[in-house]
Amino acid sequence: IAGITQAPTSQILAAGRRMTLRCTQDMRHNAMYWYRQDLGLGLRLIHYSNTAGTTGKGEVPDGYSVSRANTDDFPLTLASAVPSQTSVYFCASSERDNTEAFFGQGTRLTVV
Amino acid sequence: GQNIDQPTEMTATEGAIVQINCTYQTSGFNGLFWYQQHAGEAPTFLSYNVLDGLEEKGRFSSFLSRSKGYSYLLLKELQMKDSASYLCAVRDSNYQLIWGAGTKLIIKP
C-alpha cells in the first residue's frame, strides 16, 4: 500500500442496506477525514478524526458513522442507505488537523 | 455563514495564462489551500498560503490578501493536461476546512 486506499471503488446499493466504505493509510498521519462530493457543490465533510480513538462530526454527519480504532484505518458506515446518499466519497488524511491533505481515489456510491 | 466563491467554469488557450479567483468569508482564517482535481480523480494539493503575498511554484503561483478575503491561482504556459477543476479551501479559526465548489478549467488548443 502506498498512500491512502479506499475500497470499493464503486458500488450500487439497494436502499435500506447497510454499507461500510473502507479507508486505509500507511503514512502514519494523525488526522483522517471523510468527504462527499456532489456535482456543483464543494467537498462536504462528513466525519473526521484528529487522532486514533477520537472522532468528530462534520457538516453532513446524519446517516453516517465512523470509528478510528487505530492510526491506519477509518471506515465509514451507512447504517441504512437512502438515495440522497448517492455521491462520490473521498477519504483523506493529513499529518495534523487540516494541514496538506492526501486523498484516496474515491468511492462512487449509487443508492437505488 | 461561511462562504467560498469561485467561478464555476473558465476557458483558456494552450500556452496562455489564466487567473482563477477565490473570495472567502469565514469565521477566522488559518490558511488557504488550492487543490487540483482531474475528472474522475482525487484532489491533489497545489499550494498553501497563510501570509499575504505571492507563492510561486513552477508554472503555478498563488496569491493571498487576507484583508480583502481574496486569493487567486495563476497558471502560466497552459498545457492541455491543466484541464481540471481547481478547488479553493480555507481553514477557519477552528482549523476546519471550508471548500469552494471548484472552478472547471477548460484548455483549448
What are the tens digits of pLDDT across the range A58-90?
A: 999 999 999 999 999 999 999 999 999 999 999
CB–CB of B97 and A45 under 8 A? yes
CB–CB of A105 and B100 under 8 A? no
Under the banding of pLDDT at 50, 70 and 90, the label for residue B23 is: very high
- Mean pLDDT, chain B, as a whole number? 95
CB–CB of A42 and B87 under 8 A? yes
Residue A100 to chain B, least CA–CA distance (Å): 7
Q: In what order do the strands lie in the sheet with A19-25?
A: A4-7, A19-25, A76-78, A64-66
Under the banding of pLDDT at 50, 70 and 90, the label for residue A1 is: low
- Residue B99, pLDDT > 70, answer yes
Task: Give the model's pLDDT for residue B81.
Answer: 97
Question: B15 vs A47, A48, B37, CA distance in Å?
Answer: 41, 40, 20
Between A and B, how many residue pairs show a Cβ–Cβ distance under 8 A? 40
Nearest to A82 by CA among A43, A36, A42: A36
Contacts of residue B105, Cβ cutoff 8 Å, sequence gap at least 6: B9, B10, B11, B12, B18, B20, B75, B82, B83, B84, B85, B86
Cis peptide preceding A75, ω within 30 of 0: no
With b for 16 or more beta-carbon neighbours within 10 A and e for fewer, the A90-110 pattern comes to bbbbbeebbbebbbbebbebe
Q: For residue range B55-97, what is the model confidence (pLDDT) as tens digits?
A: 999 999 999 999 999 999 999 999 999 999 999 999 988 888 8
- Mean pLDDT, chain A, as a whole number? 94
Contacts of A51 in chain B (CB under 8 A): none
Of B42, B95, B98, the CB nearest to A103: B42
Q: Which three cell numbers stand for residue B85?
A: 477543476
- Residue B5, pLDDT > 60, answer yes
Percent of chain B with pLDDT over 90: 91
Q: For residue range A28-67, what is the model confidence (pLDDT) as tens digits?
A: 999 999 999 998 888 999 999 999 999 999 999 999 999 9
CB–CB of B97 and A42 under 8 A? no
- What's B82's DSSP letter? G
A57 reaches B (C-beta below 8 A): no
Nearest-by-CA chain B residue for A41: B101
Nearest-by-CA chain B residue for A37: B101
- Separation between Cα atoms, residue A10 and residue A108, nearest integer Å: 4
Contacts of A105 in chain B (CB under 8 A): 41-42
What average pLDDT does the segment B31-51 reach?
96
What average pLDDT does the segment B24-48 reach?
95
